Amino acid sequence: MHTPTPRSPQCSVTRMTEIALPQHANNLGSVFGGQMMAWIDVCAAISAHRYCGRVAVTAAVDSLVFLRPVKLGDIVLLGARVNAAFNSSIEVETVVHVEHPDTQTEELCVRAFLTFVCLDDQGKPLRVPPLLLEDDVSRRRSADATRRRELRLAHRTDGDS
């Protein structure tokens, strides 16, 4: 099987900006969790596509933690990047911040780790490019992603329990 050329995590960096509108919010004025998950999935999918150079599909969500609510009218900043590359899958980390233009600050709202599988033209898993680990931060992110993957795979084989 052909081994793709290694790629930098920088090629996967993706940024999106949304505004929390009435159709995104519940009766408490907070963005629906499902809406936030949809934005996260889109941002992470773009990051995965950029990294793989092909369509990649969501295979798993290892962690998605809501740290604070996003309110109606908030400016929502999403950022994603590849943390690790395995055989046919990659881990993409996505973080969500709310921007406060009046104070020029941002506040972390959500952090998520998603696994994507790169697909060939027949919809079969395709080998992904190896990830260049260019610095200590990249090496730590990759090691952490490997541990999350091991835990996910161990749980997958637990059966119905």
pLDDT in tens, 63-107: 999 999 999 999 999 999 999 999 999 999 999 999 998 999 999
* pLDDT at residue 1 is higher than 70: no
Residue range(s) defining the domain that contains residue 144: 9-156
pLDDT digit string, tens, across residues 112-158: 999 999 999 999 999 999 999 999 999 999 999 999 999 888 887 65
Helix or strand or coil: residue 9? helix
Q: How many CB atoms within 10 Å of residue 89?
A: 19
Which residue type is seen at 1?
A: M
Contact 88, 127 (CB under 8 A): yes
Q: Which residues contact 157 (CB under 8 A, 6 or more apart)?
A: none
Q: What residues does 19 pair with on adjacent strands?
A: 75
- pLDDT score, position 153: 86
The answer to the question of residue 1 being in a domain is no
The CATH number of whichever domain residue 111 belongs to comes to: 3.10.129.10
Task: Report residue 37's pLDDT band, with 50, 70 and 90 as the boundaries.
Answer: very high
**Per-residue pLDDT for 58 more than 70?**
yes
Q: In what order do the strands lie in the sheet with 75-85?
A: 14-19, 75-85, 89-100, 105-118, 56-66
Count how many domains the chain has: 1
Q: What is the largest CA-CA distance in the chain?
A: 53
Q: How far apart are CA 15 and CA 55, in angstroms?
A: 18
Does residue 3 sit within a domain? Answer: no
- 42 located within any domain: yes
CA angle 143, 10, 79 (to 5 degrees): 85
For 88, which DSSP code? S
The answer to whether residue 60 is domain-embedded is: yes
**How far apart are the C-alpha atoms of 114 and 60, rounded to whole Å?**
6
**Token reading at 67:** 């740290």
**Residue 105 falls inside a structural domain:** yes
